[in-house]
Amino acid sequence: MSDNNNLKDNNSEDNISDENVNTQDENIPNDNDILNDDKIPNEFLCPITLDIMREPIVMPDGHTYEKEAIKQVLEIYHVSPLTKMPMEFSDGVINYSLKSLIETYIKEHNLQLTDVNITEKIKNLNITEVKKIEQVEFEELFSRYISEEQSDNLCKDSIHVCMKPKKIKTTLSICLICVVDISGSMSVNCCQNINGMESMRISRLELIKHSLKTIVSTLRKDDMISVITFHTKAAMKVKPTILINKEEKESVINSINEMIPLDMTNMWDGIRMAIDTSSSIPYENYQKSIMVFTDGESNSDPPKGVYETLKETLQSCDDKFTISTFSFGNDIRPKLLIDIANLCNGIYGYCPDGTMVGTIFINYMSNLLSTITPIVKVTVTQGDNTKKTMTIGPLYRGSYRNAIFKIDRKLLNKTKVIVELPMNQQIFEVPINFDSPNLQSYIKEMEDLENKQNKLKKENDDDNDDDDDDDELLDKESESGEVVKVKSIDTNILIEEKDSEPIKYEEMLFNQLMRNKFIITLNKIVKLEKLANDNKENEKAKKILKEYIDLLNGLKYKTQFIKSLIIDIEDLDPNHGQVEKAINQTYFKTWGECYINSFLRFHQFEQCGNFKDQSLQHYTNSVFSTYRRMAHTIFINLPPPTATRHPVDTLPQPYTYSAPRRSYRRVRGSFLSKMFGMFSNAKNSSCSLRVCTESCPIDDEPPDLSINMSSFLDRHGGCFNGDAIVSLANGQTKCVKDLKKGDRLNNNSIVQCLIEQQTSNRLSKSYMCDIQGVLFTPYHPILVNNTWYFPIDLVEAKLISINSWFNLILMDEANQKYEVEFINGVKAITLGHCRNENDILKHPYFGSELVLKDLKERDPIGYFNGYIFIKNFNPRQLQFDNQYCINYYKVLTEIGNTNNIDINNHSERLVY
């Protein structure tokens, strides 16, 4: 009892004298000694003092603290140091059970506790002022009447509601509650059916853990995360924790690493615990999002089922949050997950295998970090009897949000439009412009303009004017270079909103009408419950889709958005046309249903949900793109998940698929390269995976499996293929490989020199990005819809056999843009352009006079005649400055020791 009495008052100076502390027996460990052994249970430590607790007290935030420490914190800040939620010290409860365990532990380890300077500990907490939800202001907020007659019969009488928020510096802090399925099926191998990876095993849970680590690493210092696992029952794996520093993030990641597959799938218990956890965190301080990760249906449900129980729970819940769901594998039945996401204003993400894990969560986090408020409701009333409400999803920084309602023209003077932001508790009455735009006239005007341009091209002869034409190749390499290493990424940086390219209202409306019709089309298709098994229903779905695609193809004028929709719906390329393929009866049973519902939700929310689908890329903006590059770099640089090697003939085959998976994932090459280097360069040359032998031991000392993470970067200097077709000023076209000095392009820039670089051999393959028929190296800047991108951010790179790369030098003194435009409307930047208006274009070598100087010195005659052919190229001669290649075309007469040049680590800056 005497020991216990001493422990109770260890904070008092009367109980531990200086003499006792200073004359302590060297053989008796103190609390600091035991802390260094890393054996002390974490639950015995106070998160404020980081020392063993004497009086553990449980507070409303769910965390346990040293009584005196939390008392002093609340006297100063009045909020939880971990969750920022307001708390009163009087609401705490002493945890006597934990206290007893701690006292027993101290006795058994013969510990002598020392005084803790709580005041100094509190000074180091760095508790910032709690952010409050701010009122939203709009840069544009209007509605406009659209008459059927003037819409070119594209809609009935309608109201178009449009809004764009004012620029802000940052968004409200995020609270993520991740609900993770750790049932036995999460151990299923994600490497099956992937060429070249048959002997490798990476479980679904390992991929989810990697995604969670990316999420943690992407969040800001004021953001909060909690992780709940569920199998037979739910458990709190990570209590709500603010990621205030690197140490907190590492602690959360360590907890994530501990997750292992266990028993059944009690999804409701996980969601229930997440809702309970959310209720303790004020929505005024956080934008709260619950994420549910699972690979199958719940098999341990409440009596009324998961959906109905959730619905009843929400009706009596005053809290404000969204729930998004994510499925893994092709054997999933997605209806429950789709219904939950729709009910709770979230999205449904679909990960059929490991190759899609990165793209889904990278884009999800980028959207979340760009979100000003997660729910926007638009209501249109006409008189006393007609009221229509539409929830259109989040309001994003730098983006327009839209809604279109069919109305009764006779009640136009009694029409009222309301926009509600539930999270912000704001309501706006939207002014109505009753003057209908003449969309019919606009389409006719654009059609006539295109016809005149085509006619002009046919009538004009070849003009070999000597003016300098600048062909701009879009290279995203320099921008990627800013985030070379995870340690250099500052997720807390304030991201500035850039001005978006101006767009004519009629063009915006045209796009929105086609988007609205597309959403209606997909909604009709997903409501056909027997589509997968009933031939008549399947034919009905195909007919519904055909009516819409016929409408698009019959348009006399097509915007870039409409062209992208056509590519996503019916393109014959196996990488595109996924909508038409998805409703194929065979495919719909496997990946089609998941894909269609996920794709529909992204269009409803005007949200870019992946790198692949062309139409979704029109929903990006500068803030989103910056977050996406950061998240992507973090994803591919984190240590890869644990892999296990199995003999090919003994691989477990728990699931087999008679139908092909979503076709664009049929790419060759390393699975991990696709998974971790999927849409950009991995900055490390390789990452070694320690091979476990848990079920199929191979050797006593298992080998290392090295994965080349830079395989998605090609080290050749060319940037596009020679068969790509460009438009000339005289209306004719030419392949790139056939361009001559003096050729005038359609933007009046003039070809000065064509550079061809031969690949090492005819059988070599390189990763290329197919942008609407033109092949680009992954990091060559391209201009699409007035926005600069790296090709790798738009489409997946594929291994392609190619004999030569090509690039151009242009003269463009008039415009000084130095761009080349291909017949598909995509533009690219060329060598020596000297443009520095954004980080994508800026490059100290390829974008400067230095590259022209080196080419002229390499082949003076070829440069003068307008054609340089490079056959032998040694990448070991390359030199780098701050990871930018600065001598790509320079001829070195003497090559010294190259051991200090890490080609793989620097290859992201090689090509332009």
- Would you give the distance in Å from CA 707 to the centre of its chain? 23
What is the rounded distance in angstroms from the CA atom of residue 116 to the CA atom of residue 102?
Answer: 17
Q: What is the pLDDT of residue 501?
A: 81
Average pLDDT over residues 878-901: 47
Quickly tell me which residue has 């040049």 as its tokens: 901
Asked if CATH classification 2.60.40 holds for the domain at 138-169+374-433, the reply, yes or no, is yes
Q: How many residues does the chain have?
A: 912
The superfamily (CATH) of domain 2-123 is Zinc/RING finger domain, C3HC4 (zinc finger) (3.30.40.10)
Lowest mean pLDDT: which of 401-405, 571-575, 744-748?
571-575
- Would you give the distance in Å from CA 283 to the centre of its chain? 24
What is the rounded distance in angstroms from the CA atom of residue 336 to the CA atom of residue 288?
Answer: 21
- Does 2-123 match 138-169+374-433 in CATH topology? no
Lowest mean pLDDT: which of 288-297, 323-332, 760-769?
760-769
- Say if CB 54 and CB 106 are below 8 A apart: no
Q: What is the pLDDT of residue 872?
A: 63
Structure-block tokens of residue 405:
């309602």
**Other CB atoms within 10 A of residue 668 CB:** 12
What is the rounded distance in angstroms from the CA atom of residue 406 to the CA atom of residue 165?
Answer: 25
Quickly tell me which residue has 């998240």 as its tokens: 631
Quickly tell me which residue has 């951010």 as its tokens: 793
Lowest mean pLDDT: which of 41-55, 239-253, 711-725?
711-725
Average pLDDT over residues 696-706: 34
Quickly tell me which residue has 């476990």 as its tokens: 692
Q: Determine the straight-line distance between the first and last CA of the chain, rounded to whole angstroms.
A: 75
Q: Specify the 3-state DSSP secondary structure of 290.
A: strand
Q: What is the pLDDT of residue 412?
A: 94
- Which residues neighbour 623 within 8 Å (Cβ) at sequence distance 6 or greater? 370, 396, 397, 398, 495, 497
From 362, 312, 324, 878, select the one nearest 637 (Cα to Cα): 362
- Which residues neighbour 235 within 8 Å (Cβ) at sequence distance 6 or greater? 228, 229
Q: Specify the 3-state DSSP secondary structure of 401.
A: strand
The per-residue pLDDT for range 423-476, each reduced to its tens digit, is 999 999 999 999 999 999 999 999 999 888 878 877 765 454 443 333 322 223
Q: What is the pLDDT of residue 637?
A: 76
Average pLDDT over residues 269-279: 95
Q: Specify the 3-state DSSP secondary structure of 708.
A: strand
From 351, 911, 354, 295, select the one nearest 667 (Cα to Cα): 354
Residue 683 has pLDDT above 70, yes or no: no
Q: Specify the 3-state DSSP secondary structure of 645.
A: strand
pTM: 0.65
The superfamily (CATH) of domain 172-369+640-657 is von Willebrand factor, type A domain (3.40.50.410)
From 695, 702, 715, 712, select the one nearest 757 (Cα to Cα): 715
The domain locations on the chain are: 2-123, 138-169+374-433, 172-369+640-657, 504-619, 725-909
From 98, 119, 109, select the one nearest 53 (Cα to Cα): 98
Strands 426-430 and 93-94: unpaired
Q: What is the pLDDT of residue 709?
A: 28
- Say if CB 779 and CB 473 are below 8 A apart: no
- Which residues neighbour 636 within 8 Å (Cβ) at sequence distance 6 or greater? 358, 676, 677, 678, 680, 681, 682, 683, 709
What is the rounded distance in angstroms from the CA atom of residue 83 to the CA atom of residue 88?
Answer: 14
The per-residue pLDDT for range 618-675, each reduced to its tens digit, is 999 999 999 998 888 888 777 776 665 444 333 333 222 223 334 333 332 333 334 4
Percent of the chain with pLDDT over 70: 76
